[in-house]
Amino acid sequence: MASIICGSLAFDNIMRFDGRFSDAILPDQLHKLSVSFYVPHLKREFGGCAGNIAYSMKLLGGTALPMATVGHDGADYLDRFRLQGISTEFIRTIPTAVTALAMIMTDSDSNQITAFHPGAMDRAHEVAITARSDIKLGIISPDGRQAMLDHAEQFNAAGIPFVFDPGQGLPMFDGEHLRHFIKLATWVTVNDYEAQMLSTRTGWSSSEIAAQVKGYAITLGEKGAEVWEGGSSTVVPPILAPKVVDPTGCGDAWRGALLFGLEQGWAMTRCAALGNQIAAIKIAHPGGQNYTLPAGLVVQ
């Protein structure tokens, strides 16, 4: 059984600011913001939502089929996936574009400011989903706007149940589009900030969103996750991380575990418990794809 993972592949330039954004930004001066942060720590990492989710899922033993686009500079990313045994079948190279690029700055409280250049991702809609006997699930994570719209329709037409995970792409859509995504999806997952935006734009409460799908999960960071199934909600407790190094990719690690669990036919609460476990491992490592699972890890 395999899962199509629609979303971005990107190169992440991760910077650490040894201070707090709140100490450098004056709330009453946001209308004329001009601020500079000294970031002595910089590292280039493989990232993007589809890449990070596929990495997490592969570590757990799932079959990930990332569907994405890279630019003329993306050969290293494809080579990395092949070495890891992750399929590149649905990854297209756009020779006239660069691979998507994220500039991520993290402060001492793990708050983040990100600038993102889409590059080749803006042509992700050129890769289409069709029915295939080994493809049982899918996820729509942040991607080019047209790709997210098209892939939702294609999943539905192919009869492939999918997770709608709008993430940072949520602001691109109005209430009508978001309600349509939810009606097509089988599961929805967002973080707590995105949950507020999703409810505001759709006009639906969490319980009303949950009523449209089989499961609705809201990740709560260090507080765990809230999962709606069968008309009721459950808070799945967090796993204490051994240390906090870099939050980049934690949500994607969580979603890789979610897909792995759904492939096994688990309830969403059990998937969320595994997601909390994997996210706690990831946050102790820099970048979105540098962690490994400890020997003897019990997947439960």
* Three-state secondary structure call for residue 241: coil
Question: Which among 12, 107, 150, 252 is annotated as catalytic?
Answer: 252
What pLDDT score does 79 carry? 97
Say which residue the tokens 């889409």 belong to: 118
What pLDDT score does 220 carry? 95
What pLDDT score does 300 carry? 58
Residue 108: partners with Cβ closer than 8 Å, 6 or more residues away: 17, 18, 19, 20
Catalytic residue list contains 252: yes
pTM of this prediction exceeds 0.85: yes
What domains, with CATH codes, occur in the chain?
2-19+43-282 (3.40.1190.20)
From first to last of its 300 residues, what are the pLDDT tens digits of the chain?
899 999 999 999 989 899 999 888 878 877 787 888 899 988 899 999 999 999 999 999 999 999 999 999 999 999 999 999 999 999 999 999 999 999 989 898 888 888 999 999 999 999 999 999 999 999 999 999 999 999 999 999 999 999 999 999 999 999 999 999 999 999 999 999 999 999 999 999 999 999 999 999 999 988 999 999 999 999 999 998 889 888 889 999 999 999 999 999 999 999 999 999 999 999 999 989 999 998 767 665
Q: How far apart are CA 147 and CA 233, in angstroms?
A: 31
14 exposure class (CB count in 10 Å sphere: 0-12, 13-18, 19+): buried
The closest of 42, 41, 77, 140 to 289, measured between CA atoms, is 77
What pLDDT score does 22 carry? 86
What pLDDT score does 298 carry? 63
What pLDDT score does 267 carry? 96
What pLDDT score does 299 carry? 67
